[in-house]
Structure 1
Amino acid sequence: MFVDDKTFRITDPSRIDVCRFLEFDALAGENSLRQLMETYRGDLLQGIEVPTNDDPFAVSRSYLRERYFGFAHSALKELTRYGRADVALIHSLERHVLGIDSSREETYKSLIAAYGALGRADDSRRVFALLTDVLRLDGTSGPRPDTRALLTRATTRSIDLGPVPSDRGTLAAPHRPRVALLAPNWVSPSREENLQRAFVEDAANELARHRSLVTLASHSSFQANSDGGVLDANSALRADYAVSTFVRPGQRGNELTVRLVQSSSGAIIWAGDYPLSPELIVSSNRALVGRVASELSSAIERHSLASPDRTSDPSAYFSFLKGQDTLKTCDLRSVRRARRCYAQAISQDGRFADAYSGASSSLYMEWVLLGGNDPALLAEARDLAEQAIVSDPSNSAGYWRRAMVALYQHDFDECHESFMLARERHPNSADILLDYADALGFVGDPDEAWGTFEQAIDLNPTPPDQYWWVGASVAFSQADYRKAIELCGRLRNEEPALRVLAASHGQLGNRWEANGYAHRLQEIYPGETAESMTRLQPHRSPVDRQRFIDGLRIAGIK
Structure 2
Amino acid sequence: MALTLVSFGSPRLLDESGVVIAFPEKGLLAAGYIATRPGRSVTRAELAAFLWGEDASNPLVNLRQLLSRVKIRQQEIGTTLLELRENDVLAPAGGVDCDFLRLKDLPANRPLDIVEMSLAHVTGAFFAGVGTSSERAELWLAEQQEHVLSRFAQALEALAREPDQLSREHMQRQAAYRLLEFDPYSEIAYRILINAFTAEGNFAQARAMFDRYSARLQKDLNAQPDGGMLAIRDHAARQAIERLPAVPVAERPTTAPFSPRTGLPRLMLMPPPLGNIKGTGLLATSLLEDVTIGLCRARSVQLVAPHTARRVAAMDEAARQEAYRNCDVSYVLETRFTPGAEVDALFASLVSVPEDATIWAERLPVDPASLGASYNTLVRRLAAVALSQIERHEFSRIGRATTPTAYQNFLIGKHYIRNMELPDIRRARKAFRETLKEMPDFSPALGGLSRTAHLEWLVTARGDTELLKLSEKYAQAAINADDDGSDGFHQLGVSRLYRGAFDESIELFEIAERIAPSHADLIADHADTLVHASRLEDALAKINLAFELNPFAPDYYWWTKAGANYSLHRYEAAIDDLTHVADQTNVLRFNAACWAMLGDMRKARAYMRRTMENFPDFETDKWLALIPIRDPAQQAHYREGLRRAGFK
User: Normalising by the residue count of structure 1, what TM-score does the alignment of the two structures yield?
Assistant: 0.48
* Higher Rg: 1
Q: TM-score, normalised by structure 2?
A: 0.41
